[in-house]
Amino acid sequence: MIDKRSGCPINLALEVLGDRWSLIVIRDIMFGNRRHFRELLTRSEEGIASNILAGRLKRLVNAELLSRRDDPAHRQKGIYSLTGQAIQLLPVLVQLGAWGRRHLPAAPEQALRQRLVEEGGPPLWTAFADELRHIHLGTPLPEGRESVIARLQAAFAQAAADHRNEAAAKDDKQGAGAR
Amino acid sequence: MIDKRSGCPINLALEVLGDRWSLIVIRDIMFGNRRHFRELLTRSEEGIASNILAGRLKRLVNAELLSRRDDPAHRQKGIYSLTGQAIQLLPVLVQLGAWGRRHLPAAPEQALRQRLVEEGGPPLWTAFADELRHIHLGTPLPEGRESVIARLQAAFAQAAADHRNEAAAKDDKQGAGAR
């Protein structure tokens, strides 16, 4: 399946994941729950091209990072799910995002989502992974536990609204000053 | 410097690092302390090509992940050093290696080195990063602290010797059986 350059675990991981799109596709499925080709294509913030997306999905299915099954609701559509080993990439994505947030010009709203995930630390990542296993693999969730994904989305929506309000207040002030 | 596809921190990190060689070059400088072009080329387990290595080194210097200065001992040689932001990639490399060790066919000795780094956990990674800052940036080390890199190398050498002895004992037994 893979043409191995060396047996170093870092190299092996990069041989499977080390192109600029594979981890982006996994990110969109993991954090955005985009499960169909169309959603992954049209909602892509990075504007992935259709042929690249198709190639990456096929490659990720071959590498057993994604599985594909027919959508019972739409005969022509496939649903993509993360496999167990793809869900274990969560800490890699968190560390990669943490580094990007610190050293590169991240957009405020996306930096915020990243910060919430980082600040939750390993307990949040474990709960997030449990929830991903429930969504993608159908494993049962611990009973009575609040959804981490819902909590993150609520915190994110709240912070995004605060951010918009602050920006609006600033505009008002500048508008008043100019009058 | 970077043509940004989106402001997502994960995407930004992948735009800088997301090819199959950049993180390999950083790994060899970080874990192998290979500082000259020649060493990075000839000791590469993955057999990096000379033109690819030259291109990646240039790109990493431009992205401020490496710095290059002339080697006072060899006028024609440059020494590459990690920058502070490159040293902060340590947790990304550890998580990537942890994933590779678990899910891909890692070579026993390299898997062992990875396991030692993982098992040390965040305290070891912090001490390792301090030592890297000392080596690459010349910052002072906390006094009287044992070298993490030396400790890892000793543990690795010991384990590799055990591994060879076990293999030799097995060969002897098989040899005796065949006689």
Interface A:B, Cβ pairs < 8 A: 166
Helices (H), B36-107: 37-42, 50-62, 84-87, 90-103
- Asked whether residue B168 carries a pLDDT value surpassing 60, the answer given is yes
Q: Is A81 helix (H, G, I), strand (E, B) or coil?
A: strand
Tell me the average pLDDT across A61-79: 89
Same domain, residue pair B109 and B79 = no
Q: What integer best gives the mean pLDDT of chain B?
A: 89
User: Which of B83, B98, B121 finishes a domain?
Assistant: B83
Instruction: Give the pLDDT score at B9.
Output: 92
Same domain, residue pair B75 and B103 = no
Tell me the average pLDDT across A85-106: 95
* Residue contact A104–B18, C-beta within 8 A: no
- Minimum distance, in Å, between the CA of residue A43 and any CA atom of chain B: 12
* Residue contact B7–A100, C-beta within 8 A: no
Q: Is A74 helix (H, G, I), strand (E, B) or coil?
A: strand
- Asked whether residue B176 carries a pLDDT value surpassing 90, the answer given is no
- Which distant-in-sequence residues (6+ apart) come within 8 Å of B1 by Cβ? B62, B63
Same domain, residue pair A129 and A50 = no
CA distance A50 to A13: 25
CA-based nearest residue in chain B for residue A64: B103
* Residue contact A8–B45, C-beta within 8 A: yes
Give chain B's domain count. Answer: 2
Mutate to test the interface with B, among A3, A11, A82 (most CBs of B within 10 A): A11
What percent of chain B shows pLDDT beyond 70? 95
Same domain, residue pair B66 and B114 = no
Q: What integer best gives the mean pLDDT of chain A?
A: 89
Q: In this structure, is the dihedral angle defined by the CA atoms of residues B109, B18, A24 and A128, taken in order, positive or negative?
A: positive
Task: Identify which has the larger pLDDT, B138 or B74.
Answer: B138
What confidence tier does A176 reach under pLDDT thresholds 50, 70, 90?
Answer: low
pLDDT tens digit sequence for A108-126: 888 888 999 999 999 999 9
Q: Do residues B60 and A63 lie in contact, with contact meaning Cβ atoms separated by under 8 Å?
A: no
Query: What does DSSP assign to residue A140?
Result: P
Same domain, residue pair A118 and A99 = yes
Same domain, residue pair A94 and A172 = yes
Instruction: Give the pLDDT score at A172.
Output: 77
Domain of A51, CATH number, reads 1.10.10.10
What confidence tier does A24 reach under pLDDT thresholds 50, 70, 90?
Answer: very high
- Does residue B112 come out as left (phi exceeding 0), alpha (psi in the -120 to 50 range) or beta? alpha
Q: Out of A79-83, A87-91, B163-167, which region has the weakest mean confidence (pLDDT)?
A: B163-167
Tell me the average pLDDT across B134-159: 85
What confidence tier does A141 reach under pLDDT thresholds 50, 70, 90?
Answer: confident
Chain-centroid distance, C-alpha A141: 20
- Asked whether residue B177 carries a pLDDT value surpassing 70, the answer given is no
Instruction: Give the pLDDT score at A175.
Output: 63
Helices (H), chain A: 9-17, 22-32, 37-42, 50-62, 84-87, 90-103, 108-137, 148-178
Tell me the average pLDDT across A56-82: 91
What confidence tier does B171 reach under pLDDT thresholds 50, 70, 90?
Answer: confident
Instruction: Give the pLDDT score at A90.
Output: 96
User: Which of B83, B110, B141 finishes a domain?
Assistant: B83
What confidence tier does B1 reach under pLDDT thresholds 50, 70, 90?
Answer: very low
Same domain, residue pair B49 and B119 = no
- Asked whether residue A28 carries a pLDDT value surpassing 60, the answer given is yes
Same domain, residue pair B38 and B64 = yes
Same domain, residue pair B67 and B92 = no
- Which distant-in-sequence residues (6+ apart) come within 8 Å of B126 by Cβ? none
* Residue contact A88–B102, C-beta within 8 A: yes
Q: Do residues B21 and A124 lie in contact, with contact meaning Cβ atoms separated by under 8 Å?
A: no
* Residue contact B11–A96, C-beta within 8 A: no
- Minimum distance, in Å, between the CA of residue A142 and any CA atom of chain B: 25
Tell me the average pLDDT across B129-133: 95
Task: Identify which has the larger pLDDT, A155 or A88.
Answer: A88
Instruction: Give the pLDDT score at A2.
Output: 47
Task: Identify which has the larger pLDDT, A66 or B15.
Answer: A66
Domain that holds residue A164: 88-179
Pick from A8, A11, A24: CB nearest B11: A24
CA angle A85, A86, A88 (to 5 degrees): 65
Pick from A46, A104, A105: CB nearest B5: A46
Same domain, residue pair B92 and B177 = yes
Tell me the average pLDDT across B117-140: 94
CA distance A127 to A55: 31
- Asked whether residue A179 carries a pLDDT value surpassing 70, the answer given is no
What confidence tier does A165 reach under pLDDT thresholds 50, 70, 90?
Answer: confident
- Asked whether residue A35 carries a pLDDT value surpassing 90, the answer given is yes
- Residue identified by tokens 């502070």 is B84
* Residue contact A6–B46, C-beta within 8 A: yes
Tell me the average pLDDT across B153-165: 79
Same domain, residue pair B179 and B94 = yes
pLDDT tens digit sequence for B30-82: 999 999 999 999 999 999 999 999 999 999 999 999 999 988 887 778 999 99
